[in-house]
Amino acid sequence: MADRSASPLFQDLHRFAVVGVNHRTCPDAIREQLFVADEELPVVLRSLRVFGVEEAMPLSTCDRVEVAGIFPNPEEARSIIAKILCAPVDLDPALLEPLLYRHVGGDAVSHLFRVAASLDSQVIGEPQILGQMRAGHRLARNRKSSGPLLDATMSAAFEAARQVRRETRIAEGPVSIAAAALSVARDVHGALERTRAVLLGTGELGLILAEQLHNTHGTPVTVLDRIGRRAEATAKSIGAHHGTMDTLADALVDADIVISAVGEGRTQLTEDMIGRALVKRRYRPIFLVDLSIPCDIDPTVNRVDEAFLFDLEDLERSATEGKNARRAEAEAAREMVDAAVARFLSDQSGRIAAPSIARLRAHLEGMRDILHAEQPNLSAEDATRLLLKRIMHGPSEHLRRLAATDNLDDRTLSTLEELFGLDQEQGDDL
């Protein structure tokens, strides 16, 4: 019998499944409740063990909440995960279960490869998912819930994702309003780590952009709003400073980036205001982003030297161009990932056969050595004929016994023909 310990993947692949929800299968309101924080992982992993799930790795991001693992019965995987994810938030598992996707075996492996390569993300090519999966796998290993199957699969998935990054342009070009704004800001100022920003108002898009500047680039941000309490609360949410609109003129002097998201339907910044600020800034460039409809910033600001104004229409155009470019690269990336999955599964399947092949070779070489010892003076032709007879004796007798007891099925015959390249007419020679 084959030594299946040589290939843990193929030993357990039929029970390996990925179960979860993502941005396509589940409403945001439900998915947000299912989010699993790092500190909640031990509880989730204990629950998985109670249900008999082995080698479990939860993954929880803004796009998805899913669990990869070896299930006692993959047919029950949806029910198990629904119960575990719903328990902490008092959600009815019967509501969640129909929303859960389930991938089993090779399909589960393929799913993890696609996720790692950001081909399953809302924004194809986004870089965050690879780091999130690495962190999820690291946590699973630290909690001793990973194992040979998950380790092998994730290692190969990460390598495939790196190949996609190296050999395609899937991550190039801004694909969101915020990304487009940051791209232009870098064109104007270079390294954003040396800039300062002002956020006017508390609109959602403005908050997203300000948060990315602060969290990703360390850019100091000051939030200004007509209502002081609102400015304070918004600033606190992103770790920024705050103030009122009364301080706008002074804030503009220090601001390299101005994000306007007031949305009150009246002009907040004029050509004259920006002109005066630039004089005091000694004409250091200022980048302005108007995220409101109707506009907060007078379009004539663009006439001021060293003032660079972009509105939603400008940014949407840039984002659309980026999305189209990534879609074109995504097809090449998918082919690359599919090939990597096929290689991985093929390599693993080869490992399970290797011990048996080695034993067969050793057995046949042993028969040859015995024959040579018994009859050292045989000609090559006679030795070959006698060796072939001895090799065929055991299998032939076994096949005849199977036939005599009506146990020689089509599968056995088909396997025999495939192994030795036989056709039906040659089968009578046995």
pLDDT at 250: 93
Nearest to 201 by CA among 271, 276, 315, 290: 290
Question: C-alpha distances in angstroms, 380 versus 226, 361, 362?
Answer: 101, 20, 20
Burial class of residue 282, CB neighbours in 10 A (0-12, 13-18, 19+): exposed
The answer to whether 206 touches 260, Cβ cutoff 8 Å, is yes
How many CA atoms lie within 13 Å of 299's alpha carbon, on the beta-carbon side? 7
Give CA–CA dist 126/62, Å, rounded. 12
Whether 319 shows a pLDDT value over 90: the answer reads: no
Mapped onto helix, strand or coil, the DSSP state of residue 36 is coil
What is the mean pLDDT of the segment spanning 78-92?
94
What is the mean pLDDT of the segment spanning 241-267?
92
Higher pLDDT, 228 or 303: 303
pLDDT at 6: 41
End-to-end CA distance of the chain: 24
pLDDT-derived band at 348, boundaries 50, 70, 90: confident
Give CA–CA dist 78/93, Å, rounded. 10
The percentage of the chain sitting over the pLDDT mark of 70, rounded to a whole number, equals 90
pLDDT at 187: 87
Choose the weakest-confidence range: 124-128, 198-202, 383-387, 405-409: 124-128
What is the mean pLDDT of the segment spanning 64-75?
95
User: What DSSP letter does each residue of 167-182 carry, written as one string?
Assistant: H--TT-S--SHHHHHH
Express each pLDDT in 407-419 by its tens digit. 888 888 787 777 7
Q: Which DSSP symbol is given to 1?
A: -
Nearest to 329 by CA among 107, 112, 123, 133: 123
Q: Other C-beta atoms within 10 Å of 410: how many?
A: 7
Whether 7 shows a pLDDT value over 50: the answer reads: no
pLDDT at 178: 77
Mapped onto helix, strand or coil, the DSSP state of residue 119 is coil
* Distance from chain centroid for Cα 325: 20
Choose the weakest-confidence range: 30-34, 172-176, 282-286, 325-329: 172-176
For the ranges 22-26, 97-101, 207-211, 258-262, the one whose mean pLDDT is highest: 97-101
For the ranges 300-314, 356-370, 408-422, the one whose mean pLDDT is highest: 300-314
According to DSSP, the β-strands at 64-70 and 16-22 are antiparallel
Catalytic residue among 26, 62, 86, 295: 62
Higher pLDDT, 131 or 253: 253
- Show Cβ contacts of residue 273 under 8 Å, excluding neighbours closer than 6 positions: 248, 249, 252
What is the mean pLDDT of the segment spanning 234-257?
91
Whether 170 shows a pLDDT value over 90: the answer reads: no
Give CA–CA dist 199/221, Å, rounded. 7
Give CA–CA dist 45/140, Å, rounded. 9
Question: C-alpha distances in angstroms, 229 versus 221, 235, 244, 268?
Answer: 17, 10, 9, 20
And the tokens for 129? 């998912």
And the tokens for 82? 């629904």
pLDDT-derived band at 427, boundaries 50, 70, 90: very low
User: What DSSP letter does each residue of 209-267 carry, written as one string?
Assistant: HHHHHHHHH---EEEEESSHHHHHHHHHHHT-EEEEGGGHHHHHHH-SEEEE---SSS-
What is the mean pLDDT of the segment spanning 282-291?
93
In the chain, the amino acid numbered 48 is L
pLDDT-derived band at 1, boundaries 50, 70, 90: very low
The number of residues making up the chain comes to 430
Whether 428 shows a pLDDT value over 60: the answer reads: no
Give CA–CA dist 366/193, Å, rounded. 71
Active site residue 62: yes
